[in-house]
Each structure stands twice: as structure tokens, then as C-alpha cells.
Amino acid sequence: MLKIGVLVSGGGTNLQALIDAQKSGIIKSGEIVTVVSNKPDVYALERAKNAGIDAHVITKKECGSADAFDLALCNYMQEKGVDLVVLAGFLAILGENFLSVYKDRILNVHPSLIPSFCGDGFYGLKVHQAALDYGVKVTGATVHFVNEITDGGKIILQKAVEIKDDDTAETLQKRVMEEAEWQILPRAVELVLSGQVK
């Protein structure tokens, strides 16, 4: 069984999708061994504890610098024997050290169809508001490998979601999570763990 480490910053709905997928057998080539948040007191940590998964907090503030944070995160993942790192709503940029140690072994889910509405500054509701402002009729989610370019790594899976005339950023965010993110993130994790995607 390969070991999965999940990085979170908030409520952990994508983490919950991964936990559920592990229980239902969608993810069968690995298991989540640790969940690490860069913020204390977020609900994602409770989700991990409720599922009996190790929950840990590493903050930039306690590390003192971005480089020290990156190193602490990387060392912790290595201590846990993590094979694959999954970013599930993780709102911190991973540094060079982490990216080189876990090259081609870090996945992220982004709430748009890359290359639309992605890159620096596009996260959370901002992505959905940008899609609405532009007037596109279809958006969705993308799971991709993480490299040194924000949202720039190789795409693994994408799923489209229709935009409705009365959508707000909030309603669109919820639908993209339910119809796309929660579906394709677990599938992409299994594809990578089972060696079907490299």
C-alpha cells in the first residue's frame, strides 16, 4: 500500500471526498497516512481525526520563513513515508525543496478547466467570479501534477460543469465541487498510485 499525505488549509471537503473514496474502494492502491494543515483550528483536521488519520499542523509563522516551512513540511512527509502528496485546498506555495523531493508525486485540484482562470491569484471564489465575469458557459475542475509554475503541471483529469444564468460565485463553487472536484480528485489519485498515469 502506497502512502498518501494530504495538505489542507480549510474545511476539507476535498479531503472528505478522498476519505470516502478510500472507504468505498475507489482509492485502493494507497491509504491516507497523514493530513497536514498550514493553519491551526481548521475543520479539515477534525475530518482527519474523525477518520482515524494522523492530523498535524505546520505553520509558516512557527517556522519563521517560507524556506524553513517548506523544509519542515518536506521532512515531516518523509518521516511519515509519504509516496504521494495531494493538495486539497492547500493555500500555500510549495518551495523548490519540496517540489524537487516529491517531483511528479504531488497532485492538486483546481476549480476551473485549466488553462482558463488559473495561475497566481486564482484560488477559492476568485476563480468562479472570474468565470462569471468573463461570461463563459462551461467551467469545471482539473487535477494536475504540481510543478514550479502555479497550476502549470501536466493535466491528469478534467470534468466540465455547466454555468447557469443565475449562478453566483458561491453557487458555482458548490456545484463545481460536487459535480467535478469530488469526482475526479479520488480517481486521479488512484490512476497515479496504480501507475496508470505518470
Instruction: Give catalytic residues, as residue numbers.
Output: 110
Find how far residue 87's CA is from the centre of its chain. Answer: 3
Measured CA angle at 159 (ends 163, 117), to 5 deg? 60
For residue 102, what is the DSSP state? T
- For 81, counting Cβ atoms within 10 Å of its Cβ (0-12 exposed, 13-18 middle, 19+ buried), the class is exposed
Whole-number CA gyration radius for the chain? 16
